[in-house]
Structure 1
Amino acid sequence: MRNCKRYIIALLLPMLVMTACKKDGDTVTLEYISGNELVASATELVLTNATAGTNVYSLSWSKDSIRLSKYGLANTALTNTLQFDTVSNFTHPKESVETGVQKLFTGTSLNMLVLSMGMAPEETKTIYIRLKTLVGANLEPLYTPTVALKVTTFNLVSFLYMPGDLSGGWNNYTTKLCSPTSDGKYEGYVNAAQWNNFKLAEQSNGSGVVYGSVPNELYKLDPGAAQWNIWFDEGGYFLLKANTNDLTWSKTKINSFHISGDFNDWSTTATPMTYDAINKVWTATANFQPGQWGNSFQIIANSDWVIVYGDEDGDGKIGAGEKVYPSAGTHTVTMNLSNPEKYTITIQ
């Protein structure tokens, strides 16, 4: 049974008074349907790579009608927002404002959503979903009954592609940032010129969500139609990070990389690396002597021990905070940060 809820409100807007009120003191009855239901296509899902690109889950609801007893009120006054949380009392919900009457999720988009809520890859947990309906800023919201989904996540690397000046054009998606676990947190290194413009796109063909910047707020991401381009207000080599959970991005300028280790008494300035912009690699040559503690070294950004790289298992893949254990002798160390999915170190 759909119920009817009424609010008595005094409309003081001058336009309504001038065009519709017959006398001072008119009251208007705002009436809308409050018995909306949220219908889910499943109660339990195991997400996998095989279903990453297909629709696996849907939510649907009816679009409530609004009636204003005297003057008429546009349906745009109503706002529907889906809320998602890992607890049933919705203490810290993730929200998505909806303009239609259905929300479809691919395996990838649902996986990204639940990972961004704190779940780990290959973890099983129940999430709770409801629809919040607002009619006006001064009225209490209405909520549908909660639906629950028991979901198992999977480990899927995802990217944000960067069409624009960095990729050689707005139809080119070669430059990208990477999220190793699709948790909404991305990073990558780029060499940019001042005023280079770009955007961040979920898909390599420009489909899906495309993020620009909020007008006059460069470091806030905007997925809406009013977005501006994102740009660099200075040139240089940067570590970029983007967070689609809180809609922010940041850049850290890399002024230098140095090799620091047993061979140079862990100096952060004695052995600088040189950047090759054509091959997109950093290199340095050092003479490694057998050392009491294994002759290890690390690669340090900006000489401040904030960004520190190494490769402890010797597989060539960089790990944050790790060390490298070279054999004795003079070697050229090459670091490649151009592929955000796999930063690498080679020793020759």
Structure 2
Amino acid sequence: MKTIKHFLIALMSIAAFTACEKDGDLITLSGLEQSELMATESTVVLTQETSAEHALSLTWTTSTLTVSDPTMLAPNVLSTTLQVSASEDFSGTIQESVESSLSHTYTVAQLNTIAKNLGATPDAATPVYFRLEASVGANMNPVYSNMITVNITTYEIDMSIGFILNSDQEATGATLYSADSDGEYVGFMGATAWYSFFLEEGDGTVWGNDAVSGTAFVTSSEDGSWNCWFPGQGGCYYVDFNTNSQNWSALWIPTLTVSGDISGELTFDRPNVKWTLPFTATSTTMTIQVSGTGNQYNNATGTDDEAAIDTPVAFAQNGSYVELVSQAGDITVTVPQAGDYTLTIDLSDPTAWTVEAVEGSEEPVVVNPNVYLPGVDDGISGNWTFDNALPLYNEENLAYAGVVNVNSLWGYTINIERDNWSDNYLLDSGDATSGTLVFQGNTNIPAPTAGLYLIDVSLNGLTYNLTALGNEIWVVGLDDQWNFNMPLTATATAGEYSGQITFAGASPWGFQIHLDSSWNRYFGGSSGSLHYRGSNITDDASLTAGTYTMTVNLIAGTYSITQ
């Protein structure tokens, strides 16, 4: 009869305090009590400059539901909703969020948007009220916590700035600019290949991709939108993001050349969005021209490099700043005296692009697109070479990863540049599968048993991890089936896997290549190239339903789909 009691308590839990009766026993659910709500602040002054920082945290206690029969567990029916209102009696508009933990933290931008939507006047302290609503059933009266009052001073929402968020919708510090606050945001960005991002407007609206395969430059602010992504070329991009026409474009600028009193090819400092060129000044006033040719990607071209449109790029003087033009104009550069300087074109602030000469001739720090593994395959090649490289996949962590056919006799090193034997990372502590690194150490990283491995390295974290690959990998996401039922099998070629894939139609999310069932080790890609943890592959959108042969080479980072 205990099975019947379990069934009845689950069935009747929606009504919370109802009960079932068996042999005269009454089983009841109890314990719903008023939560205690607490806030870290009672007065908050919000500013646009600190929009990404934390402004207010709320914490609370929760009820512990119990069943009168100690042999039974209470059903998980407690629902907690955080309510925010501009009125003390919570009449009128209420902002709500369903909570699954015991705290909620608002950023400055989030709190500013909530207060604005509740009618708060900018630059004036306005009381805003918070409380918790707890319930255990739709037909039961909820229980409310104590009420917290927070006096919030909001700022006028600036619709001239578009904030760049990463793929997790976290602030990056990068911005685009809308001079007329009309929804068209432009500016320069330093992006890695396939960099993913969202754009957030001043009112909190977040824009991403429209979540339709094959429409890389179409945008949407609807829930469920994907992140936008750049093409497979890293470097300097001029971005035009138009929320009115719901599309964006990316003009990739591979090189810029200086001519006139200073001449040479500029180097792009991607993290700082600057172009630089060391030079020696022989006079205090110089006239230069800056120009180049970019590749335009947009709705028509997609991320196809061959379809990208050659576009002239140049700069001209406009008062104290420079502007982007199609034909180069004269730009005046002044220095206090003759000597060594670095010409710097700073494009990081979309409201003020500048050209100046900075004293000294330091080269910018360049993030290398690959690291190399001398010694990792000398059991095959017979030599220590720079033939095995790990591509960059996370710039913030300086994380590199790739699949390598390891057969090492003496261990190996991690070198930051091709043919540079001295600048490398070696073993600090660890074993053949994981450990920590030290720059220019004394001990090689120990090699595992010969075989195929995913090697994942973080130079910021000073860590390395190796994962052995088996005879199968998996295609996940075709037909929107996110399981491990479509294997590819290892061929006689090291790193190559092949097998049949069958699908009825395009997946709304694309698909991935998974190395195992951990969900963490996978490849995305496009146009036949694989990228570790890259955007999902969307080739299924251009194929008719049917059965195909898919072949991937994890070492070369390639894939093909043939019928």
Q: Shorter-chain TM-score category?
A: 0.3 to 0.5
TM-score between both structures, scaled by the size of structure 2: 0.31
TM-score between both structures, scaled by the size of structure 1: 0.48
Larger radius of gyration: 2
